[in-house]
Amino acid sequence: MKLKLTGLVAALLLTFGVTANAAQDIRIFTTANKDGKITPQMVEKAFSDAGFYITGDNNMNKAFDAKFKKHHHPVYNLMTLHNKKYANKLIAKNVDFALFTPLSMSMYTKAGSTDFSVSSMSAEGIAKITKIPVDDADLVEYMKAVEDVFKKVMPNGKFETVSYKIANPKGDLVQRFEMEMTEQGDAVEDALEDYQSELESGLETLGFVLAGFNKLGEDLAKVGNNKYDFFDAYSICKIPVIFEVSRLHPEAGAFAPCTLYMLKEKGTNTVKMAFPSVYNWLSSIDVNDKASEDILIDAQKKFVDTVNESME
């Protein structure tokens, strides 16, 4: 098997610019919560009751306290959730929708405030990354389903008016890989298991957390989409990254954990992989302080290097 990395060098040559009055890539739903009655657990249950599968809901303050002996905000959770109904439809239109399986959210109360907020991707942000039209009926319906849960669990809340300066990214919004896998039929499963074991080991050695795993191909096959030998998705994060970035940008949890998908169509010898790059963070929500930018770029470099090394 042989790996090929595409597009990174050329993308790094892009210049940094600002697009005025652009649509926002994330949305933040906020409610007054002086009495503390709204909790991450309530939001999780509301999504579960609405038919979403919760793949993770982590109290990051516990992780921060254990690793750094401090945290930035009184409440900070990262939640990931999945809805097979919408995911199956949208992946069939563009496999890059797998980058949002699961959908990431941060739930937080900022230091010095009692308001409770949940940040997540907007339809515009998803459309920009996946190239699925922002007015696609299934995408609109999916975003409405998420919004309905927000309004049910936080009836006095509303979406904040956000005005980030949407910048032209300095690199590809989606980082892509390809590798050759000549095995076919029953041999594919053994080859995939060997590769994934090596990749997982390399990522964990460098401090990446494998926060979740979805076998999307099995879900697709159940609705008649049988074109893949496999189609898997990892949720991956690195605690020092979200610790640093969330200090000024707790809403950055809309991008974390990120999803790495890998797929192979039946009858082909090519495995395709992709993950949303850190240039989404940098260009979408004004993440421009040096400490945050440095740790994001460093994490991405280590991730790319690990994928390359896993294939040697």
User: Which of 28-42, 116-130, 270-284 has the least mean pLDDT?
Assistant: 270-284
pLDDT average, residue stretch 237-247? 95
What pLDDT score was predicted for residue 42? 97
pLDDT digits (tens, 9 = 90+) for 132-185: 999 999 999 999 999 999 999 999 999 999 989 888 888 889 999 999 998 888
Q: Regarding predicted confidence, which is higher, 182 or 223? A: 223
Is residue 224 exposed (0-12), middle (13-18) or buried (19+ Cβ within 10 Å)?
Answer: exposed
Domains observed in the chain: 3-15+22-310 (3.30.310.70)
Please report how the helices 60-68 and 239-248 are oriented relative to each other, as an axis angle in degrees rounded to 10.
110
Least confident of 1-5, 122-126, 257-261: 1-5
pLDDT band at 196 (very low <50, low <70, confident <90, very high): very high
The mean pLDDT of 71-83, rounded to a whole number, is 97
Question: Any idea which residue has 């009184």 for tokens?
Answer: 74
Mean pLDDT, the chain, integer: 90
| Complete DSSP assignment for 9-30 | HHHTTPPP-EETTPPPSEEEEE
What is the reported pTM?
0.89
Phi, psi (degrees; rounded to nearest 5) at 299: -65, -40
